């Protein structure tokens, strides 16, 4: 049986919306945040909203014994704080040394549309430096519209959504595919508005920030301690802008430009710089593969890795390939799938060996050269590789990512203008520029708005010290945006991770220790550097530790993580 590679399984497709999440609320008077940045009045300290009471209880489920769970109600519309409410789901890992407890640390793992509760549960226990877990209750929550927090849904059920988008390309290459994508996204936008319009119109990152501030008060903290990854940089910047006096600690790992997120020319996927960043990191992937040689990188056994991959891309544009799966079915892998696969795998250096083996398997027939065979003989099938790379997996929904991305900023293009826009982006950043340029199309068909969204100004007034972390070769949150993000704050230190991939969680013990020192003591060294624990191609394909970073689950991740 031939079936199309399930598009919903690709974490970073244009359907997912925008890569690297959200939270920050308030029980304080919030300013009018109109889209005209110059006319916005000075920000007030608080909104008049009741602080919810959190009734923590043990989480239900195998392996969740270390976690507590809860759900609270927050105002759906902060202009009507006593009106209708929205449910926010939370989970926490209590501090292991209660006598030395500083407070709660709120964590956002990226997105938009990424769940905090499920991600923490997936991690299964302590995931930060032991000092952090000793002195903080680590709290994750599902932003409004996501996961267990009154999610934005666009179809009657998950099966219907899966079936509808199953054949949608990651990005279109032909006239037929362009027509298909426009029709698909137009329908998705309409059904999202029909079934969840009331949730979308209050799903801005600003309202998530207000929610987070209410949660801060609910856990009894006078000020917020926050760790945000990828899209979490947008939530952190929004929270700090709305509540500058309420910030204790702000650690941002992987930055997106807030101005590019909220406005500017082109699609939101283009403005965030992911296409150019991914193209740069992919070039590094090919160069490091060549340096590693045939024994560690399967592509190097077939010749120049760059030439081999370009040949694969060309072949896939001409004719997709059928890949057998263990259950006897086959899937079709096309050029767009291969680009999306590569983008996702670039998130973690532990996956680079498998990515190279996949391209090598696509490049040669069954009778491979002996050198290539030695590099790939531990791999059962391309289907096995695709599973390791996360391209065949359970579908988790598109509504949450669409909601916040669409209401947070400007979307100046018309649907029919995306093709020319993507062509220009491809000329700037081959393969990946085209892929990321289509992110935002789903926002062009319906005027999704949240009157309480915050779109700037982004110069920060908080006096709290801030730590900003950037990885030198990051495909989703470009390293070049690290220092400019830090420069928006009066007191910010920059930590550079000399390596590859998206974010440092599970990748750099050095960075985890630096983050811990900052969160506990509010001390950081500007200009410090760290190395990574795992180098690309350090182990043969299939032998690397492939426990996924949560950032891989939600590459804005579709857009940004977008």
Nearest to 109 by CA among 142, 68, 145, 131: 142
Q: Give the span between the Cα atoms of 120 and 127, in whole angstroms.
A: 9
pTM, rounded to two decimals: 0.86
Mention every residue, 6+ apart, whose C-beta is less than 8 A from residue 284.
473, 500
Q: List per-residue pLDDT tens for the chain, 562 residues long.
A: 333 444 434 333 332 332 222 222 222 223 333 334 333 433 335 557 999 999 999 999 999 999 999 999 999 999 999 999 999 999 999 999 999 999 999 999 998 889 999 999 999 889 999 999 999 999 999 999 998 999 888 888 888 888 888 888 999 999 999 999 999 999 999 988 888 889 999 999 999 999 999 999 999 999 999 999 999 999 999 999 999 999 999 999 999 999 999 999 999 999 999 999 999 999 999 999 999 999 999 999 999 999 999 999 999 999 999 887 777 888 889 999 999 999 999 999 999 999 999 999 999 854 344 444 444 444 445 555 655 665 533 334 688 888 889 999 999 999 999 999 999 999 999 999 999 999 999 899 888 889 999 999 999 999 999 999 999 999 999 999 999 999 999 999 999 999 999 999 889 999 999 999 999 999 999 999 999 998 899 855 554 443 444 443 334 333 334 5
CA distance 214 to 434: 40
For 186, residues 6+ apart whose C-beta sits below 8 A from its C-beta are 415, 445
Phi, psi values for residue 480, rounded to 5° = -60, -15
Q: What phi-psi label fits residue 477: left (phi over 0), alpha (psi between -120 and 50 degrees) or beta?
A: beta
How far apart (Å, rounded) are the C-alpha atoms in residues 147 and 284?
A: 35
Domains of the chain, with CATH numbers? 1-562 (3.40.50.1820)
Q: What are phi and psi of 357, to 5 degrees?
A: -65, -35
Is the bond preceding 558 in cis, omega lying within 30 degrees of 0?
yes
In the chain, what's the furthest Cα-to-Cα distance?
71
Contacts of 184 (CB under 8 A, 6+ apart): 164, 165, 168
Task: At 316, list the tokens.
Answer: 């896939």
Query: Tell me, what's the pLDDT at 395?
Result: 30
Rounded to an integer, what distance in angstroms lies between the CA atom of residue 49 and that of residue 55? 19
Crossing angle of helices 305-318 and 335-345, rounded to 10°? 140
Strand, helix or coil for residue 469: strand
Minimal CA–CA distance to 474: which of 507, 496, 500, 445? 500
Three-state secondary-structure class, residue 193? helix
Residues 534 and 509: their CA atoms lie apart, in Å, by: 10
Residue of 381, 379, 374, 377 whose CA lies nearest to 295: 374
Instruction: Answer positive or negative: Cα dihedral of 383, 388, 391, 392.
Output: positive
The tokens for 239 are 């929270």
């Amino acid at each position: 049986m031939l079936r199309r590679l399930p598009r919903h399984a690709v974490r970073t497709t244009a359907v997912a919306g925008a890569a690297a999440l959200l939270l920050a609320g308030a029980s304080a008077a919030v300013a009018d945040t109109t889209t005209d940045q110059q006319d916005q009045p000075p920000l007030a300290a608080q909104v008049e909203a009741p602080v919810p009471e959190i009734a923590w209880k043990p989480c239900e489920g195998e392996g969740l014994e270390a976690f507590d769970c809860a759900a609270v109600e927050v105002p759906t519309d902060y202009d009507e704080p006593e009106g209708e409410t929205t449910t926010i789901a939370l989970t926490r890992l209590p501090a292991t040394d209660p006598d030395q407890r500083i407070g709660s640390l709120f964590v956002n793992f990226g997105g938009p549309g990424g769940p905090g509760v499920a991600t923490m549960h997936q991690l299964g226990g302590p995931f930060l430096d032991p000092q952090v877990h000793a002195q903080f209750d680590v709290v994750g929550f599902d932003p409004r519209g996501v996961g267990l927090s009154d999610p934005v849904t666009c179809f009657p059920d998950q099966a219907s959504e899966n079936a509808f988008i199953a054949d949608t390309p990651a990005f279109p290459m032909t006239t037929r595919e362009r027509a298909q994508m426009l029709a698909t996204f137009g329908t998705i936008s309409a059904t999202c508005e029909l079934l969840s319009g009331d949730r979308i119109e209050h799903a801005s990152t600003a309202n998530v920030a207000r929610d987070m501030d209410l949660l801060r008060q609910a856990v009894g903290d006078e000020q917020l301690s926050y760790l945000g990854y990828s899209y979490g940089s947008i939530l952190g910047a929004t929270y700090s802008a709305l509540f500058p006096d309420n910030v204790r600690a702000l650690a941002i790992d992987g930055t997106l430009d807030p101005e590019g997120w909220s406005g500017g020319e082109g699609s939101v996927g283009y403005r965030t710089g992911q296409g150019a960043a991914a193209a740069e990191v992919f070039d590094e992937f090919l160069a490091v593969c060549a340096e590693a040689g045939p024994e560690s990188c399967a592509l190097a056994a077939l010749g120049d890795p760059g030439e081999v991959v370009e040949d694969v891309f060309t072949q896939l544009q001409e004719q997709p390939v059928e890949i057998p799966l263990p259950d006897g079915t086959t899937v079709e892998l096309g050029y767009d799938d291969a680009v999306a696969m590569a983008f996702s795998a670039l998130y973690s250096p532990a996956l680079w060996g498998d990515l190279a083996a996949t391209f090598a398997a696509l490049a040669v027939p069954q009778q491979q050269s002996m050198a290539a065979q030695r590099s790939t003989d531990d791999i059962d099938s391309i289907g096995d590789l695709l599973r390791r790379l996360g391209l065949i997996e359970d579908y988790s929904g598109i509504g949450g990512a669409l909601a916040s991305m669409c209401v947070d900023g400007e979307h100046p293009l018309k649907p029919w203008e995306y093709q020319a826009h993507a062509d220009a982006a491809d000329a700037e950043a081959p393969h990946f520029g085209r892929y990321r340029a289509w992110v935002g199309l789903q926002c062009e068909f319906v005027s999704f708005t949240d009157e309480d969204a915050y779109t700037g100004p982004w110069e920060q007034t908080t006096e709290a010290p801030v730590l900003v972390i950037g990885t030198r070769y990051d495909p989703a949150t470009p390293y070049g945006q690290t220092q400019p993000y830090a420069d928006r704050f009066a007191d910010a230190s920059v930590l550079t991770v000399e390596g590859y991939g998206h974010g440092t969680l599970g990748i750099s013990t050095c960075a985890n220790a630096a983050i811990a020192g900052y969160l506990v003591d509010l001390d950081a060294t500007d200009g410090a550097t760290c190395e990574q624990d795992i180098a690309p191609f350090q182990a043969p394909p299939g032998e690397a530790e492939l426990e996924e970073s949560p950032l891989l689950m939600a590459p804005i991740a579709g857009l940004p993580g977008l």
